Amino acid sequence: MKRKNRPNILLIISDQQRVDTVGHLNRTPCKTPNLDRLAATGVSFTRCATPCPLCAPARCGIFTGRNPHQVRAKWKDLAAERAKNPGSMYDTEAVPTMTMNGGDPVDPMPFTEPLRSQGYFLDYVGKWHLNDDNLPDNFDRFEANSINSWPKGIETWAFMSDERVVTKTQPRMSIPTPVVEDLPPEETMDAWIADVTIEHMKNRPEDRPFFLTCAYIGPHPPFKVPEPYFSMYDPTAIPVPPNFLPNERERACNPNNYYRQICRDFGTDWEPWKKAYAAYWGFCTHIDHQTGRILKALDEEGLTEDTLVIYCSDHGEMLGAHGLWQKYEPYEENLRVPLIFSAPWLSQNVVSDATVSLLDLMPTLMSQAGTDVPEELEGEDLSSLLVPGGADPFRDRYVYSEHKPLGSFHNTVEWRLVTNNQWKYVWNNGDLDELFDLANDPYETTNLIDKTEAATEQSRLQNALKNHMVSTTDPFGDAYVEQTFQPAG
């Protein structure tokens, strides 16, 4: 089928969903029949990397096609912020006027004006998690959260009052303990987001194509999951992952990480962790059900044939792997996220292991909409991977990810990561670096840094990361070069 010149675009973003929860990949028992339906009518990527395993910077990357350090995501000292507002859960916010490393201001949302010039109606529903000042000129209709609350008087982080699922110490953070959500599935926040997405779809301007984003809160912790999803998966049937809890090398790397401490507090016994896994899978299936409702509405409105549907998540979840909880770290459980493109004119039922990044989403979306892709975007247009007989120009590609600590409480270091999906190198600023042979060690249990047998790959990846940090004016570029390429003393 030939692509429509100006297709509708439906972008669905979950929060903190690992790629191994996607049902058709058969990596876990987690069921996602609606994502499977999307994958059967398009292309599903198995190795998509997030530019940062943290909500706000990752979303900066999704919507700008640039690395988080390029758009100058604003990082606050979380301990100070929460001292002022103990109920707040927000980690970061993006600077309203984004700049290229302190240079001239750049358009923080480079897709909006090109799509508007093509007649698109820009619509957003759900979690935003960026500064509200980004909004007025970027969307024609917007119904989502501000920094601290949702519309209609719904408190964004109401779970903070539930002592069962948060730490007893400051700053208050979710813990792995799963509990049953008191609300029925149709009254949860994610169901409300799906409701509003469907309402917006039905009330669209019918003389214009739409770009509609639906951004869920789940399956982000805490794992307050409604029935029947809470009890859907049997914890006793879940085996211990090969990288559960830290080994000696990991105990020596960032040992005081706040989220490693939460993991230790929860315990080293597999019994409670497998219950957290089961609840997390149930949460993912709940999100999938809400997605199915949206896809059904798309069908009922007669829009499926003319709509490109994209599903992704911002980052993954550690769930006790390497002795870590939640996100922030450079391991595969955090790095790899679902990414599915579905439309009648795309290749059908293709599973791709191409080297791709969430930074590629915006240039691909713009290309599919028939607009020019700005040259300054770091992401790549993946359109050639989406059509029958298309070339794969990315076989020798490297993709990158990064993280900056969230203030003094985090007790960890800045890191930068480069991977070609076969190997991964992580520079931990002032701490132990890491090198993994992903092809032979997918659970990253053996650090090959400075090992003779991995010297060639280590040098190749270290140089690729240096070139990337220099070309993107990474503020930690000098520290990286000094620590990695200049001899000690």
> What digits encode the pLDDT tens for the residues 134-186?
555 688 898 876 444 455 445 445 555 688 998 887 777 889 999 999 999 99
Instruction: Report the candidate in 102, 139, 109 with the shortest Cα–Cα distance to residue 124.
Output: 139
The answer to pTM > 0.75 is yes
To the nearest 10 degrees (0 to 180), the angle between helices 361-368 and 55-64 is 30
Structure-block tokens of residue 3: 């692509």
CATH 3.40.720.10 in the chain, residue ranges = 8-397
On the question of pLDDT at 319 being above 80, the answer is yes
Q: What is the pLDDT of residue 83?
A: 45
Third-level CATH fold of 413-489: Arylsulfatase, C-terminal domain (3.30.1120)
411 pLDDT band, cuts 50/70/90, is confident
- CA angle at 20 for the pair 195 and 323, rounded to the nearest 5°: 110
H/E run at residue 312 = strand 307-313
Domain 8-397 has CATH 3.40.720.10: yes
Tokens 């004119």, residue?
345
Contact by Cβ (8 Å): 47, 34: no
H/E run at residue 399 = strand 399-403
Least confident of 13-17, 64-68, 74-78, 382-386: 74-78
CATH 3.30.1120.10 in the chain, residue ranges = 413-489
Gap between the Cα atoms of 349 and 252, Å rounded: 44
